[in-house]
């Protein structure tokens, strides 16, 4: 918001400079500004152009903000359908990683049951971890 307020301050200052130049320097034939001879009307136009440029930036910023909000709203509105379709495609082509890749998807991860993860029914989790990590299993585990 600081950037937007600074644009507003700059624009307001430029409007004041333009109005004051038109009001107080209208009778002056020309001034030397940065090495260039300019009439008060040209100087006022310089500030008017700056105000117009700032307004263009503000309009573009508001348009971008509206577009981002519309995009977020559309994605939120369609998220459940996209998720359902993705699930369907992953189910249809579960055995074809190349086809899934064409959709930009990867195969679903298969959830392991406790017994399949342990390898032997009735094994203790600590024992299985100890064996997989190379620890000696203590007696009684």
pLDDT score at 18: 96
DSSP lists the bridge partners of residue 37 as 32
CA–CA separation, 48 and 104 (whole Å) = 51
CA–CA separation, 20 and 29 (whole Å) = 16
What is the total residue count of the chain?
141
Q: Which residues in the chain show pLDDT less than 70?
A: 1-4, 111-126, 128-132, 134-141
pLDDT score at 1: 43
Could you tell me if 79 and 62 are in contact, meaning their C-beta atoms sit under 8 angstroms apart?
Answer: no
Angle, CA 94 vertex, CA 88 and CA 97 arms, to 5°: 120
**Residue 38, helix vs strand vs coil:** strand
């Amino acid at each position: 918001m600081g950037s937007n307020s600074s644009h507003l301050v700059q624009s307001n200052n430029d409007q004041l400079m333009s109005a004051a130049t038109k009001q107080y320097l209208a009778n002056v034939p020309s001034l030397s500004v940065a090495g260039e001879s300019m009439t008060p009307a040209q100087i006022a136009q310089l500030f008017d152009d700056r105000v117009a440029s700032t307004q263009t930036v503000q309009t573009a910023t508001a348009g971008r903000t509206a577009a981002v909000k519309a995009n977020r709203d559309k994605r939120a509105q369609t998220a459940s359908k996209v998720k359902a379709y993705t699930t369907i495609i992953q189910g249809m082509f579960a055995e074809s990683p190349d086809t899934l890749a064409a959709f930009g998807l990867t195969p679903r991860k298969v959830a392991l049951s406790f017994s399949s993860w342990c390898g032997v029914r009735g094994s203790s989790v600590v024992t299985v971890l100890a064996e997989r990590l190379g620890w000696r299993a203590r007696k009684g585990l």
